[in-house]
Structure 1
């Protein structure tokens, strides 16, 4: 069996795009992966196109050999979109291998430790604040609206939620995102008393709705520098966070924040490969290591999780994509012993289900692990072609 051809699909997902890679073998076996070009990875599809001639003609069963061959093509540019391109290829190859052997991907790596994956509702209230029309829900305009969403999370049985800072201006809340958006707080990313109070009010609004037993995470992304992260941690400390999530590309800075923070610290979603993660583990920077299985590739992610276990750290996948990506992340969660909880977007564009023939099942806050061969998710090409990428303001 040899890789014969490939095809890339770019699909409209509202305020972003979902991307899919299809690999076909000479015996007709098809493997799929999902990747994301619109989350800080411009040109990713072009890199996949450049790398694929090195894969065509190779045996998809020889994953280590293919990874080694691709590594030789990117030695001087390790990481970044190159790593993400290799990850997209690797994940599609694993789908082929699982299908060829008639087993789920997790079975290729020691089998599953669990078949129900606890998930937390990510971007809770945040998407409804920014894109309610595309999500198909009532908009979130006030902290009271966030409280109502918290009530929904509890009523639907989710064990936890994750949200982002909302600030109130002229009686209406808006997202505070200076690490991603040109506007208030950009480019200095300073903190002030108003922003710190807003962070606390955001968490308190959800806590009022979901009660004391539902976990709450607050994601600060790249929106502050070290001083700001520390001050926000102090402000939200009394709210009893499950974790405060943040991104900084300096392990000692995160370790400093973790040392003094009144809540657990999670980070790592933008790190690539074991070499990037190693200095963070050595600095004891994480309570929970966030691993993006779509960016790193399933096989490399397992190796990162194994490294984390040496430092007594549990892992949680960074997963805010489509249904195929959620399945890939769920296989990762099923296969590693040091698993914490899985991220998932419950709110998304109303047509997200069109991209697959078997959307996921979530019962009482648990993602039910697919059991079919490969990733266990059948991509719907008709649905992919139905939703080409659109340009939006």
Structure 2
């Protein structure tokens, strides 16, 4: 019998903006996780160090017990830091359990429901012309779905010109990719309630796949009036951290796609529960993942197992990834087997990927201090990034 008692916890802050976790057991089996809040990597690292006394000596196979102990054992619970720390630990423990049993994680969740998962690639540009060229590059590289931001600095209620600029960017992509390609639109919480209907109306002629974070998650109660107004599917969830956060939007009946992040929303254990809740409300999931290879591998395990998984975000070639890209920390650059816009069913044990530990350790000596920019409107007031 393998001894899966946790004996060692290591953290690696690596470029471009990621935090990797390695948990090792007494039998030598180890697992990887990716616990991070973008721009707050050191804070999450400190949180895991506070949890270390509970980790050392805990059986890595008792995943649910550890999750409940950390979540319920503290008087204060939830939020981005605690849940992101718990997410990475959860991923690593599932990785260990899968490796110990010699099966992919999705097998432990009930098995696969699909043979491959569609992914989308980010397209970025400051003008419609630039963003159209970026979309063409994605098409030339086999993608069958893309996503873009259509607006940047936004006032609480902005000018018609800003609304038209947003529509022009989406129109440029649609003209390049045609009607057989899905185009996700990410508003990044930059639009406020008073502007949301105008934005949705302007984008609707170009048939976006979904509108993501049309308003901030703390304003999700406003989605009722917006969802009644537009035929575009509404997506949200990257800044929501547990089933209790998602329960509210499901009860309101205003969201069509949930986007929990495997590195923020409690890991594999919690996102599986969120997906099951969503299925009961006839709502799809499309896990958020602008992060690294471990977070993506965890998301794919959910995608393979959950019938309502729609599409998967990846950070492959995203404009945030300066200094390192998604596959740079894998021993095999083709580790995800991406073909024609899909990731085929992964069959290796655990998370299904092999991390290049030597490269991780070298990169951790460089580290990073990534922070998102602070945006201000022309009058000097802070606005959403």
TM-score of Structure 1 vs Structure 2, range by shorter chain: 0.7 to 0.9
Q: Map residues 174-323 of structure 1 onto 2, 5 A cutoff.
A: 176=152, 178=153, 185=154, 188-246=155-213, 247-296=216-265, 297-323=267-293
TM-score, scaled relative to structure 1: 0.86
Question: 1:72: Cα distance to partner?
Answer: 3.4
User: Could you say what secondary structure the match of 2:346 adopts?
Assistant: coil
Question: 1:252: Cα distance to partner?
Answer: 2.1
- The answer for the alignment partner of 1:53 in structure 2 is 53
Matched, 1:107 2:107: yes
Matched, 1:147 2:135: no
Give the Cα separation in 1 of the matches to 2:140 and 2:150.
23
- The answer for the alignment partner of 1:136 in structure 2 is none
User: Could you say what secondary structure the match of 1:362 adopts?
Assistant: coil
Superposition RMSD in Å: 1.8
User: Could you say what secondary structure the match of 2:348 adopts?
Assistant: coil
Q: Residue 251 of structure 1 contacts residue 283 of structure 1 at CA under 8 Å; is this kept in 2?
A: no
Give the Cα separation in 2 of the matches to 1:391 and 1:92.
24
Q: Residue 148 of structure 2 contacts residue 186 of structure 2 at CA under 8 Å; is this kept in 1?
A: yes
User: Could you say what secondary structure the match of 2:61 adopts?
Assistant: coil
Give the Cα separation in 1 of the matches to 2:192 and 2:47.
31
Question: 1:34: Cα distance to partner?
Answer: 1.5
User: Could you say what secondary structure the match of 1:204 adopts?
Assistant: helix
- The answer for the alignment partner of 1:338 in structure 2 is 308
User: Could you say what secondary structure the match of 1:266 adopts?
Assistant: strand
Which residue, out of 136, 145, 169, partners 1:160?
A: 145
Q: Residue 327 of structure 1 contacts residue 376 of structure 1 at CA under 8 Å; is this kept in 2?
A: yes
Deviations 1:125-156 (A, max 9, x none): 2xxx4xxxxxxxxxxx5322222222222333
> Which ranges in structure 1 are unaligned for 5 or more consecutive residues?
130-140, 167-175, 179-184
Give the Cα separation in 2 of the matches to 1:280 and 1:39.
27
> Which ranges in structure 2 are unaligned for 5 or more consecutive residues?
372-385
TM-score, scaled relative to structure 2: 0.88
Give the Cα separation in 2 of the matches to 1:391 and 1:87.
21
Matched, 1:7 2:14: no
Matched, 1:374 2:344: no
Q: Residue 3 of structure 1 contacts residue 55 of structure 1 at CA under 8 Å; is this kept in 2?
A: yes
